[in-house]
Structure 1
């Protein structure tokens, strides 16, 4: 039986790295894609593609096609790509465009590029990362929440479009992920209440498994204890 091939975008980030380690640990062949540098060396089990601008459709397609050619197939796409900015609504408009491109356009391009390969298998999983804060946006979260709400709706629409093709498309909605950046930005917070990257990776990999083949179109809150 061929190995499962899992593609992870945003693979150089904290969550992306946790996903790479968890997917490799369960025996997947893994491809990591990111604009940033991926530190893990290539091996029989892992292919890293750095410097990929997923806001560009052609770049996303080329990267996904390279993975399919290298491993012979693609079974799962886990989109951890994205970013965050805190800004009041009367701040620079550039931040709205930046969040739209970083959080929604990247995911859209990766999904569009991967779909033909997943459809060729007549099964497969896409798991996106939305945000709990996009359900009810707080002050300063307008640009970020709007972009993540777009991820939610993309997930739901794509699930409907592919539900007869054997594909499952879902999203996780974390509250605050425990990362060094978030700790630096919120030094007085109780970090123990936040979502651990390894825990979120485990949940995403469950959604990218045969055991979750009856779940599609779900937006799964992962609140931690926040």
Structure 2
């Protein structure tokens, strides 16, 4: 990853922070884009793009262009921005479906569309999306989340076909990620079975690196010890 320029969406979240730190430790330069405003100062290796609504195509393009203007290039886009909601179809709010589609699908779509010309110019461009194992077979209460993440899966497959030979496009499909928020919402769960953010970051950065140059269109389960 040394010298590569990476844009990470959702960089202020629990997973985004770990991926950014791991990428920086491997010598990458990172632009973190997030709806939340960052409290971190820019450095030569990292810039913060806070207050960005990536579900808006124009704002997503401005963020990508700002990163390219700052670092001079773009090699990798990691789409981590996302949200979760647990509610049944019968008793839930249809607006939840719209919200999760916007946050999980549109953010990845808009960032990817804006990044494509720069990733093609890189010669080794990579897009890594965050899907979900829970979208492979949705359980009760998982309808809106699973539907939106299934959209990420199909986006990954379609974009990998469009960009084959130019940019690799893959997705990781984690089970439950071991984060403080998930522990708080599921206090009786066996946390040892969950995938850690560090483990998931390792897989994401593998797909973002030169070693995965022959991998595209993959939906890679990262199940932890379930």
TM-score band, normalised by the shorter chain? over 0.9
**Structure-2-length-normalised TM-score:** 0.97
Say whether 1:71 aligns with 2:71.
yes
Partners of 2:39 and 2:216 lie apart in 1 by 33
Specify the alignment match of 2:13 in structure 1: 13
Moved over 3 A (4+): none
Specify the alignment match of 1:126 in structure 2: 127
CA deviations on 1:165-192 (whole Å, 9 max, x unpaired) are: 2x11000000000111111110000111
Q: How many corresponding residue pairs?
A: 224
Specify the alignment match of 1:46 in structure 2: 46
Offset of 1:225 from its aligned partner? Answer: 1.2
Offset of 1:41 from its aligned partner? Answer: 2.1
Offset of 1:119 from its aligned partner? Answer: 1.2
Partners of 2:75 and 2:25 lie apart in 1 by 16
Please identify, of 26-35 and 114-123, the stretch whose mean Cα deviation from structure 2 is larger: 114-123
Please identify, of 32-41 and 122-131, the stretch whose mean Cα deviation from structure 2 is larger: 32-41
1:137-156 residue pairs with structure 2 within 5 A?
137-156=138-157
Partners of 1:113 and 1:38 lie apart in 2 by 22
Partners of 2:175 and 2:162 lie apart in 1 by 28
Offset of 1:120 from its aligned partner? Answer: 1.6
1:97-108 residue pairs with structure 2 within 5 A?
97-108=98-109
Specify the alignment match of 2:97 in structure 1: 96
Alignment root-mean-square deviation, CA: 0.9
Say whether 1:195 aligns with 2:195.
yes
Partners of 2:34 and 2:204 lie apart in 1 by 18
Specify the alignment match of 1:159 in structure 2: 160
Any conservation in 2 of the 1:11–1:38 contact (CA below 8 Å)? no
Structure 2, unaligned stretches of length 5 or more? none
Partners of 1:186 and 1:169 lie apart in 2 by 32
**Structure-1-length-normalised TM-score:** 0.97
Partners of 2:201 and 2:41 lie apart in 1 by 21
1:180-191 residue pairs with structure 2 within 5 A?
180-191=180-191
Partners of 2:106 and 2:17 lie apart in 1 by 21
Offset of 1:39 from its aligned partner? Answer: 3.3
Partners of 2:24 and 2:165 lie apart in 1 by 29
